[in-house]
Chain A
Amino acid sequence: MLDQFLLGLSVVLQPHVLIYAFFGVFLGQLIGVLPGVGAITAISLLLPVTFYLDATTSMILLAGIYYGSQYGGSIASILLNLPGTPSSVVTCLEGYPLAQSDRAGLALFVAAFSSFIGGMVGVAILVLAAIPMTVVALKFGAPEYAMLVILGLLAASMIGTGSQIRSFAMVLLGIALGLVGADATTGYYRFVAMPELADGISLVSLAMGLFGVSEVIRNASRRPAANAAPLIIKMRDVIPTRAQAKSLAFPIVRGSSIGSFFGALPGTGAAIASFMAYAMEKRFSKTPMKFGKGHLPGLAAPESANNAASQTGFIPTLTLGVPGDAVMALIIGALILNGIIPGPRLMVDQPELFWGVIASFFVGNIILLLINIPLIRLWVLLLRIPYQKLYPMIIIMICVGVYSHRTSVTDVLLTLAFGILGYLMKNYRFEPAPVLLGFVLGPLLEDNFRRTMLLYGGDFTIFVTRPISAVLVVCSALMIVWAVWSSLSHRRIPAPSSP
Chain B
Amino acid sequence: MATVKDHGGQSKAARAVSGGVLLMAGFVMLFFAWGYPTGTVNQMGAGFIPQVIAILICLFAIAIIVIDLRAPQWVDAGGMHWRGLTFVSAAIILFALLVDVAGLVPSMFLAVAVSMFADDQARPLLVLIYTVIATFLGWLLFLVGLELPIPAFWR
With A428-B77, A457-B42 known to touch, is A190 a contact of B33 (CB < 8 Å)?
yes
Contacts of B40 in A (CB 8 A): 458
A173-B25, A404-B150 given; A220·B42 CB < 8 A: no
B29→A392 contact, CB < 8 A: no
Q: Which of A81-89, A246-254, A311-319, A395-403 has 4 or more CB atoms under 8 Å from chain B?
A: A395-403
> When chains A and B are docked, how far (Å) is the Cα of A191 from the Cα of B47?
10
Q: Is the CB of A453 within 8 A of B96?
A: no
CA separation between A412 and B116, bound complex, in Å? 19
Once bound together, how far apart are the Cα atoms of A415 and B88, in whole Å? 12
Could you tell me if B100 and A409 are in contact, using CB atoms closer than 8 angstroms?
yes
Contacts of B67 in A (CB 8 A): 163, 165
Q: Please state if A446 and B116 are interface contacts (CB–CB under 8 Å).
A: no
Known contacts: A169-B57, A173-B57. The answer to whether A400 contacts B64 by CB under 8 A is no
Residue in A220, A399, A407, A454 whose CB lies within 8 Å of B92: A399
Contact call B92/A412, Cβ cutoff below 8 A:
yes
Contact B56 A395 (CB under 8 A): no
| Among A166, A190, A395, A407, contact of B111 (Cβ-Cβ < 8 Å) | A395
Report the separation of the CA atoms of residues A458 and B39 in the bound assembly, to the nearest whole angstrom: 12
Alpha-carbon distance A34/B85, docked complex (angstroms): 22
Verify B118–A169 contact, CB threshold 8 A.
no
Would you call B130 and A389 a contact (CB within 8 A)? Answer: yes
**How far apart sit A172 and B22, CA to CA, in the bound complex (Å)?**
11
Nearest-neighbour CB distance to chain A for B103, whole angstroms, equals 12
Interface check A284, CB cutoff 8 A: no
Measured CB to CB, the closest approach of chain B to A246, in angstroms, equals: 44
Partner of B134, one of A176, A396, A398, A413: A396
Please, which residue of chain B has its CB at the minimum distance from the CB of A460? B41
Q: Is the CB of B112 within 8 A of A396?
A: yes
Residues B130 and A392 in contact, CB atoms below 8 Å apart:
yes
**A166 vs B45: C-alpha distance when bound (angstroms):** 29
Chain B residues within 8 Å of A388, by CB: 116, 119, 121-122
Contact between B42 and A458, CB atoms less than 8 A apart = yes
Q: Say if the beta carbon of B69 comes within 8 Å of chain A.
A: no
In the bound complex, what is the Cα–Cα distance between A420 and B87 (angstroms)?
A: 12
A206 CB–B CB distance under 8 Å: no
Question: Beyond A188-B36, A213-B92, is A179–B53 a contact (Cβ under 8 Å)?
Answer: yes
Whether B118 pairs with A216 at a CB distance below 8 angstroms is: yes
Interface of A (DSSP majority class): helix
Does A395 lie within 8 Å of B42, measured CB to CB?
A: no
A165 to B29 Cα, complex, angstroms: 19
Assuming A188-B37, A399-B96, A458-B41, is B134 touching A392 (CB within 8 A)? Answer: yes
The residue from A165, A399, A420 contacting B85, defined by CB atoms under 8 A apart: A420
Q: Check A412–B95 contact: CB distance below 8 A.
A: yes
Cα A409 to Cα B130 in complex, Å, equals: 26
**B60–chain A nearest beta-carbon distance, Å:** 4
Among A165, A176, A219, A392, chain B packs the most CB atoms within 10 A around the CB of A392
C-alpha gap A39/B149 in the complex (Å): 27
A301 to chain B, nearest CB (A): 30
- Within residues 325 to 350 of chain A, which ones have a CB less than 8 A from any CB in chain B? none
Picked from B18, B107, B118, the residue with its CB within 8 Å of the CB of A391 is B118
A window 161-190: CB within 8 A of B = 163, 165-166, 168-169, 172-173, 175-176, 179, 183, 185-186, 188, 190
Does A220 contact B64, Cβ atoms closer than 8 Å?
Answer: no
Contact surface of B with A, Cβ cutoff 8 Å: 17-18, 22, 25, 29, 32-33, 36-37, 40-50, 53-54, 56-57, 60-61, 63-64, 67, 75, 77-78, 80-81, 83-85, 87-89, 91-93, 95-97, 99-100, 104, 107-108, 111-112, 115-116, 118-122, 130-131, 134, 137-138, 142, 146, 148-150
**Closest 7 A/B residue pairs (Cβ):** A188-B46, A220-B118, A428-B18, A458-B42, A458-B41, A183-B46, A169-B60
